Each structure stands twice: as structure tokens, then as C-alpha cells.
Amino acid sequence: MQPQIGGNKKTELHSLTICANENQRFSAKAKGYKMEMIIENLGFDVKRYGGKVASVMAIAMIAAVDATAQNDFNEADIKELEEITIVAKRNEIREMREAAMPVSVISTKLLEGTSSNINDALARTTGVTVRNTGGVGSASRISVRGLEGKRMGIYIDEAAMGQFSDYLSLNDVPTDMIERIEIYKGIVPYRFGGSALGGAVNVVTKEYPPVYLDASYELASFNTHKFNTAFKRTNKKTGLQFGVGGVYTYSDNDYEMKLPNLNNRVVKRDHDAFRKVMAGGSLKATKWYFDEAKLELVYTNTKKEIQGIDFDIREAYTHGQAGISALSLKKDNFIADGLDFDFDASFSYGQNGLNDKASYRYDWDGNRYNSVSPYGGEQGNYASDSDNRTKDLLSKLNLNYLLNKHHTFNLNLYATSMHQNPHNELMDLSFGYQTNFPSRMKSLTTGFSYDLTLFDGKFMSATTIKNFLFTSKTKALEHTFINNPVDIDMKKNYWGGSESLRYKFNKRMMAKLSFSSEVRIPTSEELAGNGYSVLPATDLEPERCNGLNAGVIYRRLTKFGVTEIEAGYFFNDLHDMIRYQADMIPSMARYANFGTVRSNGGEIEVKSDVAPVLYLYANATYQDLRDYREHETGSEAENPTYNKRMPNIPYLLANWGMDLHKENLFGGKKQNTRLLVDASYIHEYFYDFEMSKYQDRKIPSSLTFDACIEHSFNYDSWIISFKVKNLTDRVVYSELNRPLPGRNYSLKVRYVMK
Amino acid sequence: MKKSFYLLLLAFASVFTSCKDDEDDDNTLASGKILFSTTVTNPSGDSGSGYLQAISELGGGVSYDNKNAIPLGFGSYPCVCESGNIYIFPDYMGGTELTLKRYVLNSSNQLELKGSMMLPANSSAAIVVEASREKAYVCCQSLDMIIVFNPETMKEISRIDVSPLRNDGVSAYPGAMCIRDNILYVALEQYNSQWMPVENSVEMALYKVSDDSFIKRIRNTSLGYCGPTRPIDDQSIFVDENGDLYVNCVGSFGFIPGLDAGIARIKKGETEFDESYRFNLNSTKVDGLSCDYLNMLGKCQYISDGIMYAYGYATGLDPENTNTYTARTGVPVIVDLKEKTVKVIKGLPLSNGHGMAMGIHKGKIVYGSANDSYNGFCTYDPETGDIETKVITVSGFPSFFYSFER
């Protein structure tokens, strides 16, 4: 069967033999199938030293290649190898990159390098910006080609997690459990569903062997502790897999920060502790009616103190807890031959809030001030002790029909239902009336797609038409200044579509081109607020984006590995752009439609195994987002910011790095040592629109280096890594001049039993 | 291949090392005796930034951009004192450098920075009044505090805590200030969390300028209006040629029916509100106004003989637009404080809530205007009644105007 290009299809195998003949042609035997793989075409890094087959990698390989059973394989030519380790370097990655849509892939090895979390790894990817606002557990926003925040689709194993972002973030997924991360730029694959614009991030978690235990502990600067564990056990006979796992993260985040608004005064953060506990279990069946039926349950609990920047906040914190359940059903040849069924549903019940009721505020000199509201509050004008309840239901049905090798049809239904019930008596007392109201929002996105494959797979086309339907029902204050709640009952319907093309000129060169006209429906937080810091914006219009993406990939196998060069161009015309912005009321924000914004840009990436022990990469992105409103709102007056660069969005970024690796560097056997260095550059950008030559509110250029030394024993069963982040101790700021940590260290020990 | 790879790396490096800002070698500020600022906002109008510049001529339809302007914090206007000192403030909502800056027009009529002083965070500083060359007051409204400082050295002298004057459930919220007879009059807004008054009372705190000691709090609930002064408008409290002190009370900005706007007076030699002077703006029919009544006076400029020019604010002028920042709700009016009448100046366009700059230039009343067709300034000649529109156009909403050629 031809694997779905760009897909996440995994083949469950429990026994596997890898063989090779003298011509370096490899074969695998599994459950009666024999498959031949030619090393030259795959780019696998095959190492001949003792040990067992890394079956999980092999499974991934098999899923990615044309795994047509080849019964005419001549077994006489096969020379069985008893000692072999296969490291799947870029096999799936290459398949992903050959998909018609622009996509970047972060592999396991990159993830396990200098990255402490997913965001670190994403930030080094071409065209991706991650803007953290502080240390561990701080809010962060991911943008692809300048289009950021909630318009990005965030998926774990293709299941959307956007609606659970109050309780879970990408960073909560331990890097140890990730097989790879796919970053789709411009167009979101139709099978993901939903209404994301600008792109998507899909985290693909690892497949596990019959018995698997993974445990790690990391000790880092600022009293940071991270403990992750996962245990999986598969019963071969019943095909049932049981899994349990947990994550505990704690950090004081008490690093020193320089405050530009306070004459560059240096203070130590003193109220930024973060604690997160997650625990979960899963049950997966592979021998029932469905090829795969999986049920997962997760509980998460978070507490995060609020760090003051201009003021010394001493008591305020946010909290949240949620129970999340997810059901996944998959079956190939469902009802009819060639019809693949894929269904996901998840439900979460959560509680979150802001506790901010201190009677006094303090500046960094220790001077005490009364809170603005007599009811308390350090952050702003009001006191808060919120207890917001949320119920989110999300479901996705994907039916894929493979008519023949040329034609594939896909129907995707993606439905969401959100119910928020905010409760904040103290805030209501501060304002003198009810400020937040229950809200309900439902959406249904229907996508129909057609894939055309011609010329022996050289040409691929994916055409998608989508319909977006959403309803919203709530009450909202027309003005936050006065008690005048109005009923909001909204129903909207939009159409969109996309076309992606790919042509492979030869084994080394391919080109991609895609167009899209998409709609993004506002999230519940954007429409109804979050009950404390985000005000409702019930008149928000959905965003519409017309985009063009073009790219060329050159890939060549060398005697040391692979050299790859990729260049891309993109253009987006975004209407009614939804933007997060500060409100007149201090510490409050809201989402608002900005108007028309155009983005134009290009990116280039080069990476190469330049020597048997050395891998280098470099990439650069230029993303130019400009205000395209010609006139002031409701006026013929010229818009003073017309064609000016959108503020607070970096526009010139670059990364480069190296991976120096050597087996048994210090003698011994079954050991591997890696030295990794990554550098990241972000060019200075403006906090506001660039109007005056005297404008000094800028986020300064930053050039940071991270380094890591990692040593593994017994074929990666034990891994010890030592990381230094911000090696040169540069003063770094993120968006809105949020100070980030200086040089910091971490030591991690990981054990994998497989 | 290896060679080309390194060449590419080199190319990247050269791109970044050669990246320089498009610096303009001409760093000279524009010059002139006319100051104006514009506010550039996002489309919803509730955040943005401001720009202040000096120009020499007001006329000829010249168009000014902000290239030569000094960036300002959003939400507050510069204060120009009789001494010629020009004060600019941090962003009213915070998030910018927390300094109060003092500028003057130098001998070349250019804005020259003379000093700066750190302010506490979240100050919402907006008004400066000078008692002498060595003593001035800056009002930190969100902190219930007034900082006493030396304008010459820009050093803090002391602090006056206004928070003991809070009423139940609200913040004292000191607004605009004025000095008369060596007494510092500080308006007390008594705002709740959403910057709204909760009752019809007009309150002020009085301090001795000589030693900053508290004299008393005055409070009047019989006038029937509230919100003494517009906290970011230094002209919303003034002393006329007779020594009477007038307070433009903005009520609830028109949001809450029954919490009205009006004009209060403290007569010369007295320190209590004049009960006999009542001028409720919400119940005064305005001559020439399509919706009859104003919600408040958003900006005012007293001239003489009881005549005050102002920007009236009436939500009824643009009832379909609920965005209070961008709706065309500002109307130029003439207020007769003696007769207690308000009259629309015909021929001047309606403006939005940000484009309410006002001032006097060579005997003419100058109105900033962010209207349906342009952002710029208009003039009204009190002698002849002549109006001139679009005398200059500007980039952004015209939010502040001051001329040293009055």
C-alpha cells in the first residue's frame, strides 16, 4: 500500500528482522511480509555494532517507505546480520517534505539536542518564531511566517489541542516522547480539519515496543526540576496496550532581569514560581473491529505566580486544572475497500482563574501603595478571585477513499462545542456589576478534498473546498465602563479552499506551489474573553486569508549523509486580522479586528552532513508584514500607518548550528557522544509602528548561543546531557520587552528500557 | 558542495552584518513656536502611540508627518506651563519608560530635553502644575499620589498621599490640578475600577503650596453633577481674569444616565464650591446641535469675559457607532459661562474622541479635527466668526495643540 504522503500512518509490528545482502540492499521481515529497502534511496544511517534492532525506528521506516510486499525477494541473497542498529535519520522527514504542502520537520535528534522543550526546537525552524514571555511555564506564542497565535493549528498526533490551551500547551509534551514535529506553513493539511490559518504544528508521538519505560529527571538553573515518565506494556495475544505516564515540572524562575522602563534597573524575579503536574493513562486495542482504538485520560493541574515587571507583584497567581479524555478510532478499508476511517473525539472539563486580591502594591524600592480597587488587586484596577468552568468537546471524522493510484478523495468533518461559565464575585464587586457571562460556541468545518497523482508520483495535486459554520451565544457588556449587557446571538457561514501542487523533477529536486483562501473562526477566548485578563470582543469578525506559497527543495545524498537546500517564498493577504492588544483598562487586553495586513517574505535553509561526525545547518527568514489599510477607520483620511511594518513582530531571523557526534569517543562500547551548538539571531524590531526617527521603543537585536554535550550508554539506554543556554549571557527581551533568562544550565539523566 | 555550503553561510553572515537601519543623517528636529501632537491608534482606537513636534506655520494646507516628532506615551497630553516648560508623560496605561520629561523650546525654537525624572510604575501621570521655578506637582492618578519635584533639577522632593481621601468602594483618583492663592486644588474623581464615578458629587483636596500640608477636602453633592476635571486635560480647571476658579466636570463621560456633567465654580477668596453657580451640561440645550444635548466638554480653552471655547462630546451625534474612540462625537462649541449657554460653531467638522486638540494661535481658536475626510487643524476667528478648515493636515489624530504665539 502506498503510504499517505505527509501522513502519520504507523504500522504495528511486534517482530522484525533486518537483513542485508552484499549490495547494501536491506530487507525486513515482519509478520509474514517481506520488504526490501534500498539504503541509497532512504538515507538511513546504518551502524554496524552490536545490539538489537531498534524496532521502533524500523517501524517508522516501514511506515514511510513504499512497503509493498515483495514475495519474489530472493532469500538466497540475504545475509542476516545479528548485530545492527538502525537510526532512522530522515526517512519520514523526507516523505513529509515531499508532500505538496510547505512543511518543515523537526526530527528526534534535533529535539533531543540543545532544546529543553518543544518551543526551543520550533524556534530554530525556518520561518517559525516563538516568543516566550519569561522562564519555565511562561506564556508563549508561536508564529509561522509572522502569522501568529491562535490562527496556528496545534495538533498532537493530528488531534487538535487548540481548545485545551488553557490547560495544556505544546511545551507540556516531554521531548522524550516525541517522534517528530511537523510544521506546515501556509496550508493546513485537510485531514487535520478545523479552521487554522497560516499553518499548523503537529507533534507526532513515538510508537512503543511491547515493553517500554522512559524516565528522566532534569535539574536546571533557577531551582528548576522536571520529571517525566512513561510506561507502555503491550499484550501480544490480545493486542492491548496499556500506558501510564506523568510529568512534574517546577521552577522558581528567579533570574535577574534588566528593566528598560525603569532606567535599566536590574532586579531579581521574586514571584514567578511555576508548578505543573500531569498524569495520564491510555488503553489501545489493535485487534478489535478497528485497526486501532485508543482511549486516553489526562489530568493536569497548574499554578503560576504572576511576575511583575514595572511593579513588584507579590501575591497574584493563576491556577487551572482539567480532566481531558480522548477517543481515537481508525480502520482501513472501512465498509468499502480503499476507504479509510479515522475518528477522534475529546472532551475536557476544566477550572481556571486568577487570584489577585492583595490590598497593597509595591514598587521595586519597596514603597507600598494601596490597590486601585478597595477590594484589592496588584495587577490592575480590580480584584479577582475567579473560578471559571469550561467544557470543551471536539470531534473529527476523516474518511479517505483511495480510488486508485491516481485519485484519492477525502471528507473531513470537524466539530467543536465550547461552554464557558465564568464566575468572579470579587471582580464584579470591584466593577459594581456582573462583568462576565456564560457563553456557548459551536462550529462545524466541512472539508472535501481531492488528490491527484500523475507521472509515477512525480506530480501531485491536493484540492480542498471547505465550509465554515459557527454560532455563538452569550451576553457581553457593550462597554466595560457601564452595566449594559447585551445579548449576542451570532451565526456565520463562510466558504474557503486551497490548492497544493508538487512536482519532482528528479530524485534530487522538487518544486511546490500552493494557493489558499481560508477562514479562521475566532476562538471562545477571543470572543468571550477568559473571565479575568481578556475582555470579551463579541463583534469579532472571522479572519480571511488569501495566500500563496512557493518553494524549491534540492536534496542530495553524499558520502557522509545528506545535503539539503530549501528555499521558499510566501505571500498572504489577511483580512480582518484578529490581533491581541492591550485595553485602556490596565492589565486587561482584548482581541480586535485589525483590518487588512499583507505579508511577503522568503526563507532559505541549508543543512548538510559535512563530515562523518559533523552535521551543520543554517536558515534565515525574512517576513515582512505590513498594514494595508489605506484609510483611517470610518474616514477618508489617510491611514498614517499604511504600508508600514506591523509592530512587535520580528521580521528578520536566522539560526545556525552544528552537531558533532562520535561513537565510543572515550573508549568502551555501545556509547555515543554528541556536542551540539545552536545559535539564534533576531534582528531589532519596533514595539510600535515606525513613525519617527526618534522612536526608541525597540526590542533589540539578539544573538544567542546554546550548547549541549550528551553522552549515551548501552545504545541510548542511559543518556546524560548537560546544556548551557544563552551561553554568552546576553540580555534578551521578547515581545513587549519581556526580559528573558540570561545564561542558565541544566543536567538531565534519562533511562529508556525497551 | 562543501565549498558552496560555506559560501552560503558566509552569505548569511554578510546579510546580517550589513543590515543597518535606514538611518536618516538629518537628525535635526523641526522648529517653530507651534506645538502639536498626534495620536496614532490601532483601528479600535484604544491603544497606540503619540508624537509631538514643533512647527513654524499654521496654514497653507501643509501636510505634516511624524518623521521629525518626539514619541509620546499613549493616553496623556503634554502639559505646557507658563514658564515655557513642556512636560511629557509615560504611557497612561504603562508599558513605556517611566519618566517624566521636561522640554523647552530653545533659541532655535526646537524642542530640547532639559531633564527627566523617574516616576513610579502604573502612575497614570498626566498633569503638571508649577508653583515656582523650583517646585512643581505631578499627579500620579492611578496611585492616589502627587509627587512634588524640582523642575530645574527634575528631582523628587516629596510625595503627597491622596489615598486617605478615598470614598467607600472607590479610589480617590486625583485629576487635574490648579494653584490659586498659594493653594493647590486637586480634583478628586472618586472613580471605581472602570474609571467611573458612582455618585453625583464634586470633590477636591486643598493643600498649602508653602509646605504641602493638607488643608481640607471640599465636597458638594447638591450641584447634581460629578467627575471634577477631565483628568488628562490641564485646561479643565482654570482661573478666570476675576480670580474665580472654574472646574469642567465631565460626569460619567455620558455613559451612566444620571451621573451628569457640568461646570462648577469656586469664587475668588473662597475655598468651597459656589452653590449659587449651577451649569448642568446634560440638561442645557445646545444651540445648533442635532441631538440637543452634550454629554460633556471633552476639551476646553477659556478666553476671557466668561467665554470659553470647547469640544463638546455627544454620543447622539454618531449613535450607530458604539466605539467611543472612533465615533464622530466631538463638536466645536462656544460656552458662555455667565449666561450658561452652549452654541455650536457652524462649519467646523465633527471629530472623534482622539482628535480633540484645542488652543489659541494669533488670536484664533484652533481645533484639531479627525473627521470623515482628513486629520488636521481648523481655526475659528472670535472677532469675525470666520472659520477655516484643513489649515494643515497631520498624520494621525490631532490630540494636542499649543502655540507660543497666542
Query: What residue numbers bound the domain in which A742 lies?
Result: 204-753
The answer to whether the CB atoms of B9 and A606 lie below 8 A apart is yes
| A541 has a chain B CB within 8 A of its CB | no
The secondary structure of A322-372, three-state, reads EEEEEEEEEECCCCCCCEEEEEEEEEEEEEEEEEECCCEEECCCCCEEECC
Average pLDDT over residues A279-307: 94
Between residues A409 and A488, the one the model is more confident about? A409
Q: How far is A732 from chain B (nearest CA, A)?
A: 17
Residue-level pLDDT at A22: 38
What residues 292-331 of chain A have any CB closer than 8 A to a CB of chain B? 310-311
The set of long-range contacts for A334-342, using a CB threshold of 8 Å and a minimum separation of 24, is: A334/A399, A336/A401, A338/A401, A338/A402, A338/A403, A339/A399, A339/A400, A339/A401, A339/A402, A340/A398, A340/A399, A340/A400, A340/A401, A340/A402, A341/A290, A341/A398, A341/A399, A342/A191, A342/A396, A342/A397, A342/A398, A342/A399, A342/A400
The answer to whether the CB atoms of A563 and B8 lie below 8 A apart is no
Tell me, yes or no, whether A645 lies in a domain: yes
Which of A53-62, A628-637, B40-49, B332-341 shows the lowest mean pLDDT across its residues? Answer: A53-62
| A361 has a chain B CB within 8 A of its CB | yes
| B42 has a chain A CB within 8 A of its CB | yes
Separation CA B165–CA A583 (nearest Å)? 28
Residue of B nearest to A587 (CA): B93
Residue of B nearest to A430 (CA): B193
Nearest to B194 among A261, A585, A604 (CB): A585
Nearest to A430 among B23, B118, B193 (CB): B193
Tell me, yes or no, whether A367 lies in a domain: yes
Tell me, yes or no, whether A506 lies in a domain: yes
Q: Check: CB of residue A461 under 8 Å from CB of residue A451.
A: yes
Segment A178-199, tens digit of pLDDT = 888 888 876 788 888 877 776 7
Q: How far is A482 from chain B (nearest CA, A)?
A: 6
What residues 311-370 of chain B have any CB closer than 8 A to a CB of chain A? 321-322, 324, 326, 328, 370
Residue-level pLDDT at B222: 96
The answer to whether the CB atoms of B193 and A632 lie below 8 A apart is no
- Which residue, among A693, A698, A701, would best test binding to B if mutated, counting the most B CBs under 10 Å from its CB? A693
The answer to whether the CB atoms of A692 and B70 lie below 8 A apart is yes
Quote ipTM for the complex.
0.84
| A693 has a chain B CB within 8 A of its CB | yes
Task: Provide, as residue numbers in chain B, all residues whose Cβ is less than 8 Å from the Cβ of A620.
Answer: 12, 15
Q: Check: CB of residue A116 under 8 Å from CB of residue A528.
A: no
Q: Quick one: which of A697, A598, A602 has its CA closest to A644?
A: A598
Kindly give the pairing relationship between strand B387-394 and strand B62-64: parallel
| A639 has a chain B CB within 8 A of its CB | no
Q: How far is A370 from chain B (nearest CA, A)?
A: 7
C-alpha cell at B64: 505634516
Q: How far is A159 from chain B (nearest CA, A)?
A: 35
Residue A105 makes CB contacts below 8 A (sequence gap 6+) with A92, A93, A96, A97, A180, A181, A182, A183
Kindly give the pairing relationship between strand B237-239 and strand B245-249: antiparallel
The answer to whether the CB atoms of A692 and B194 lie below 8 A apart is no
Q: Check: CB of residue A566 under 8 Å from CB of residue A607.
A: no
Average pLDDT over residues A162-172: 66
Q: Fill in the amino acid letter for B288.
A: G
Separation CA A225–CA A728 (nearest Å)? 23
Separation CA A457–CA A386 (nearest Å)? 56
pLDDT at A521 exceeding the cut of 60: yes
Segment B164-217, tens digit of pLDDT = 999 988 899 999 999 999 999 999 999 987 788 999 999 999 999 999 999 999
Segment A45-74, tens digit of pLDDT = 333 322 233 333 343 344 333 333 333 344
Tell me, yes or no, whether A433 lies in a domain: yes
Residue-level pLDDT at A687: 83
Q: Check: CB of residue A115 under 8 Å from CB of residue A175.
A: yes
Alpha-carbon radius of gyration of chain A: 26
Q: What proportion of chain A, given as a percentage, has pLDDT over 70?
A: 82
How many domains does chain A divide into? 1
What residues 487-516 of chain A have any CB closer than 8 A to a CB of chain B? none
C-alpha cell at A683: 534582528
Separation CA B19–CA B395 (nearest Å)? 28
Task: Provide, as residue numbers in chain B, all residues whose Cβ is less than 8 Å from the Cβ of A698.
Answer: none
Nearest to B67 among A361, A584, A692 (CB): A692
| B71 has a chain A CB within 8 A of its CB | yes
Q: Check: CB of residue B215 under 8 Å from CB of residue B208.
A: yes
| B66 has a chain A CB within 8 A of its CB | yes
DSSP B142: G
Segment A214-225, tens digit of pLDDT = 999 999 999 999
Kindly give the pairing relationship between strand A672-682 and strand A562-575: unpaired
Q: How many CB atoms lie within 10 A of CB A44?
A: 22
Write down the mean pLDDT value for chain A.
81
| CATH code at position A680 | 2.40.170.20
Q: Backbone phi, then psi, for A416, in 5-degree steps?
A: -135, 150
Q: Quick one: which of B241, B230, B304, B244 has its CA closest to B277?
A: B244
Tell me, yes or no, whether A567 lies in a domain: yes
DSSP A741: -
pLDDT at B7 exceeding the cut of 50: no
pLDDT at A279 exceeding the cut of 80: yes
C-alpha cell at A384: 479577582
Alpha-carbon radius of gyration of chain B: 23
Q: How far is B26 from chain A (nearest CA, A)?
A: 9
Residue-level pLDDT at A431: 82
Task: Provide, as residue numbers in chain B, all residues whose Cβ is less than 8 Å from the Cβ of A508.
Answer: none
The answer to whether the CB atoms of B118 and A262 lie below 8 A apart is yes
Residue of B nearest to A540 (CA): B44
Residue position matching grid coordinates 463562510: A494
Q: How many CB atoms lie within 10 A of CB B87?
A: 26
Residue of A nearest to B321 (CA): A634
The answer to whether the CB atoms of A692 and B68 lie below 8 A apart is yes
The answer to whether the CB atoms of A635 and B98 lie below 8 A apart is no
Between residues A188 and A670, the one the model is more confident about? A670
C-alpha cell at A83: 548485530
Residue position matching grid coordinates 458604539: B322
Residue of B nearest to A369 (CA): B143
What residues 176-235 of chain A have any CB closer than 8 A to a CB of chain B? none
pLDDT at A679 exceeding the cut of 90: yes
Q: Check: CB of residue B34 under 8 Å from CB of residue B58.
A: yes
CB pairs under 8 A between A and B: 211
Tell me, yes or no, whether A490 lies in a domain: yes
The answer to whether the CB atoms of B71 and A656 lie below 8 A apart is no
Task: Annotate A665-679 with b (16+ C-beta within 10 A) or e (fewer).
Answer: eeeeebbbbbbbbbb
Tell me, yes or no, whether A143 lies in a domain: no
Which of A109-123, A239-253, A369-383, B156-170 shows the lowest mean pLDDT across its residues? Answer: A109-123
Q: To the nearest 10°, the Cα dihedral for A516, A522, A526, A528?
A: 180
Residue A615 makes CB contacts below 8 A (sequence gap 6+) with A561, A607, A608, A609, A658, A659, A661
What residues 717-746 of chain A have any CB closer than 8 A to a CB of chain B? 736
Give the E-state strand segments of B59-192 in sequence order: 62-64, 70-72, 79-80, 86-88, 99-105, 111-118, 125-130, 136-140, 145-150, 155-161, 174-180, 183-188
Sorting pLDDT into bands at 50, 70 and 90, what band is A594?
A: confident
Which of A140-144, A303-307, B365-369 shows the lowest mean pLDDT across its residues? Answer: A140-144
Write down the mean pLDDT value for chain B.
91
Tell me, yes or no, whether A136 lies in a domain: no
Task: Provide, as residue numbers in chain A, all residues whose Cβ is less than 8 Å from the Cβ of B125.
Answer: none
Q: Check: CB of residue A577 under 8 Å from CB of residue A593.
A: yes
Residue-level pLDDT at A163: 53
